[in-house]
Structure 1
C-alpha cells in the first residue's frame, strides 16, 4: 500500500511539550486538504526512537497521490488490528492505552516499523500495530 503524505510532525507521547496541540494542529491543517476526500485517511507512526515512550514521527496520509512524499507499507508485514469504539469520546485514547498495556504485560510484541490508524469514510477507525 502506497500512502502519500499530506503533513508530518515529530513528537513524543509523554515528554513532548504541547504534544496534543501539535497533533491537533497537524490534523486541522491536513483536514483542509482532505475536505472533499471520500476514501480512507491514515495517521502513520514511524521512525521510532525506541518504544512508545520515545520520540516518533506522525504523518497524515491518503492512498491517492496528492502528497509530495510517500510511505510504502508492504503486505509482508504482520499487523494486529484494534477496533476503536467511535461512540466513545475517549475511544482512541482507550484503545492506545490497551495497546500499551498489552505490550507491557507481554501480550503484544511490537515491530516498531510502521503503525497506522485507518479512518474509514463511514467513521470506522482501526489501529494497525506492526507485530513481530
Structure 2
C-alpha cells in the first residue's frame, strides 16, 4: 500500500447507479451486468479520444454519503478530452494492489480495504472518486481517495 497523487486522469465509459447493499446482499447487483454490457455493446470501440493506455478502469464516483450510500460505477478507459468523462483533477490516494484470478481478486481486495479503514484511523476516506485499475490480466490496483 502506498500514498500517491493522481492529476488529470480522465475516464470515459458506461455507468450505472448502485450501492453496496444491492451489490452484496441481493442477486440483483448491477456491476457484473455493467461489465457485460460494456463488452457486448462494444463501448470501448465506440469511445472517442482514447489514450494509448491499455488499462481498463472501474470508477466509483458521485457518492451520496459514504460506503453505505448510492454511488455511480463506470467501466471505462482513459481518454484525452474531458467531454463525457470522469475527470480527476488532483486527488490524493491510498493505493492497494493484489494479484489473483478475476473477478475474485477484486472482491478480496475490496474486503481488505474495508477492513483496513474500519480498523485504521491514519487515513480517512474522502469518498470523492475511487477507482480500480486493471494493470494485468491477474493484477489490480485500487485507488481510494483520502483526505
Superposition TM-score, scaled by structure 1 size: 0.81
Name the structure 2 match of 1:94: 108
> RMSD between aligned alpha carbons?
2.5
Superposition TM-score, scaled by structure 2 size: 0.74
2:119 is the counterpart of 1:105: yes
2:40 is the counterpart of 1:26: no
Count of residues in Structure 1 that have an aligned counterpart in Structure 2: 128
Name the structure 1 match of 2:63: 48
Give the secondary structure class of the aligned counterpart of 2:85.
Answer: strand
Q: Following superposition of structure 1 onto structure 2, how do residues 109-120 of structure 1 map, counting pairs within 5 Å?
A: 109-120=124-135
Identify if the C-alpha distance between structure 1 residues 18 and 55 changes in structure 2 by more than 3 Å, giving closer, same or farther.
Answer: farther
Higher relative strand content: 2
Deviation at 1:87, TM superposition (A): 3.9
| Residues 62-87 of structure 1, C-alpha deviations (whole Å, 9 max, x = no match) | 1136996111112x311011112224
CA distance in 2, matches of 1:19, 1:66: 34
Shift >6 Å, 4+ stretches: none
CA distance in 2, matches of 1:68, 1:18: 34
CA distance in 2, matches of 1:26, 1:69: 17
CA distance in 1, matches of 2:32, 2:81: 21
